[in-house]
Structure 1
Amino acid sequence: MRQPPDHSLPDRDMDRPALISALRARIARLDRSGGAAADGGQGIPLCESVDAALPGGGLSRAAVHEVLAAEPGAAAGFCALVLARAGGTVLWIAPEPDAWPPGLARFGLSPADLVLVQAPRPVDGLWAMEEALRCPGVAGALLVLRSLDLTAARRLQLAAEAGGAVGLLLRPDEEEEAGGGASAALTRWRIGALAGTGGAAAHDLGDPRWSLDLLRCRGGRPANWRVVWRGAAERLERDEDATEADQPARPVRAAATARRR
């Protein structure tokens, strides 16, 4: 089968100044919309009911946000939506190139705006994330990682404040992490999947439905929503048909993150 194109950075043996120069040159070529400054620094809109609960009327830029993946595909879709609405060039940094651009495009994230970075070692990923967040030509950056100490999290937050980009830390929803722990992130979310809106047909999955749990929010309160992504209109809206009986669906490997075999 065809393998996905190699979007990783040059070999890790390259000296870091040269690596930074290469990355910035590529970002400059891709960036068409002015990055984080495109909307005057306003928050990134999600949907009306969610935005109303956030202090900035949307997901704050120049800040880092944690996303705990109760279901990997749903979490990847949510992150793709946020990065798409950041309005410019964005980086997806992970130990393995498991993000599939056509799948992420379903949530509005254009492959033309996406730079995939392979960082096998955690230290490489943290370095790439910090450099990306400090770059004024970057609208947003995501880092896939399992754990993060408070000092590293604070460095990323300072980098986001310096560059103005939105940073997302995509992490597994492990019990000890979800339950507490210090964090420098502005918000912490848990994203799960619900059964889609499809009909009776076996292959009619319909529009994706997610459970959004806002676990922590600096200046706000925890909350939760059931939402549906209307792909045809590229709109996230509250699921008016959701009930308390709705539970996150059994985890599946979604197209947004599955590697092509």
Structure 2
Amino acid sequence: MFPRPIPETALWQRRFYVVAVLAVLVFWLCPLFAILLTSLRSTTDVMSGNLWGWPTEFGLVDNYVAVFTQTPMGRYFLNSLIITIPSVLGVLVLSTLAGFVLARFRFRGNMLLFALFVGGNFLPHQIMMIPVRDLMVRLGLYDTQAALIIFHIAFQTGFATLFMRNFIAALPDDLFQAARVEGASPFQTLLHVVLPLVRPAMAALAILLFTFIWNDYFWAVVLSVSDTVKPVTAGLANLRGEYVSAWNLISAGTLVVAIPPVVMFFLMQRHFIAGLTMGAVKG
């Protein structure tokens, strides 16, 4: 069922494994390298059609400065932060509360309610486009940051509840029995017993949610129109001209947009790994 480790005596198998891993890694990093190389090209180099060769002229500083001076990229960044941070916090709060109830309380319809949370993750985004857009128009929230925040909280809570419910269900029952003996209420149990223990899981979930919401493009286009609302993913589309596209600026903007999730991952890498492996070994 699981792959067997390659024995140390199988020298050629080990060498083939290393070569195969390096080949896959290079193949996987090729698009990123191409984008990085394009972001270094000058406008003259791009207009001459040199999109795949080594740059004949470099425009490193000019390209990255132009991303912020020739486009409202700063506003797009602020919009993404305004949308992403409240969405992540809202999902963490709701999913932790729902996961705690579903994991520790037995009531009629418990599994049915849990199945509804899980089943919502299997709905394709596209079939909800028109109903969600019409709902936001009727509520007067269309083309507002609140529309994107509400949608992301509603859509991501299902996956996050599944994530948190499984972690909370893996906690020892003795902890909850001891809390009940001490007279702790369910909310006190959640606050003083559950939250300190699932903090690594919440950190891992926060990184995943931040990445999902920050990188969302589909709903950013569906629910926003004006530059005062658009997040960075939708704002990148404005860098494409009607007849000519400045691919060097688009590539530079793409790398700038990718920085916040990468920085957040490295800052919280220890918590992320601890959260994903928490409960993997019992006893």
- Scaled by the length of structure 1, the TM-score of the pair is 0.26
Q: Which has the higher helix share?
A: 2
Which structure is larger by alpha-carbon Rg, 1 or 2? 2
Higher relative contact order structure (alpha carbons within 8 Å, sequence separation ≥ 6):
2
